[in-house]
Amino acid sequence: MQLARYQQAALKTLQPPTPDTDPVLVPLLGLVGEVGSVAAAYKKRMRDGTTTGRQQLREELGDVLWYIATLAHRLDLDLEDVAAASLEKAKDRWRVTPEPERVHFDADYPHHEQLPRRTTVTFTPTPAENDRTVVVLTREDGTPAGDPLTSASHIEDDYRFHDAFHLAHAAVLGWSPVTRFLLERKRRSRPGVDEAEDGGRAIAIEEGVSALVFTYATRHDFFEGTRHVDHELLDTIDQMTAHLEVNVLRTADWERAIMTGYDVWRQLRKHNGGTVELDLDNQTLTFIEP
């Protein structure tokens, strides 16, 4: 049965609300109750250690579906539209096969304005003034990449290695205004793109993403032993970057970029620096064992 037909049929059995009752309240509370009934039915099935109860589960799930259909109606929503949006969200969140074609945001730019398809960057902790230790980044040719970094915190949390996150964005997403700045690959041949996509605001947004994820990561063991992050965090990143070219990618791509960056960051932290290899074609960022 099509969802639209089901919703229309369900509405024929929906009782009109009383004048002093919120019309949304009954189907909303009914949905909550029926979800609990499904859990209770499955609990009994587990407790009894049998495969019986399938009929009861079907009935309870049917009640859930009825309340969803009527609640959607009360909220002026079409059930088929709700279902379609749900599938799109799932496709955005979880990778599907075949893999989408690799996106190169700079494919039609001069070679010197393209992110290097393969290169190395070295993180070197270096003594500095006032008994500080800074991390100096150097490119493959030995020239410095950006300014020396500290963790910029009262507590040493090794955020000084955080450029690994930007390099992971470049490797996995093909996007990173910060990496373009560090490797001097800004797209200056098109001033509008250089300003909007590679300029200060875009850099600040990517730095904000890096700081936001790091705050989350500190409460989750820096993703040691896990490969997923909360959807709410990915949704926030999606909103922060909605006006930038990277918005064509999925939240699943962001999750992979985050995990790639933290895999390398943990190695840099463990070894107190080192060299990483950036490979855009294979979408990898690899720590090179010393």
CATH 1.10.10.10 fits 3-93, yes or no: no
Mean per-residue pLDDT, 283-288: 96
Residue whose entry in the numeric block shows the structure tokens 């064509």: 248
Spell out the domain ranges in the chain: 3-93, 111-288
Whether 12 has a pLDDT exceeding 70, the answer reads yes
As a whole number, mean pLDDT of residues 155-173 equals 96
Average pLDDT of the chain to the nearest whole number: 92
Q: What is the pLDDT of residue 144?
A: 95
* Residue range 12-20: mean pLDDT, rounded: 88
| Helix pair 231-240, 200-218: axis angle to 10 deg | 170
Q: 97 pLDDT exceeds 60?
A: no
Burial of 211 (0-12, 13-18, 19+ CB in 10 A): middle
Q: Report pTM.
A: 0.78
Gap between the Cα atoms of 70 and 28, Å rounded:
9
Helix (H) or strand (E) holding 134: strand 133-138
Express as a percent the part of the chain with pLDDT over 90.
76
pLDDT of residue 98: 53
Count, residues in the chain: 290
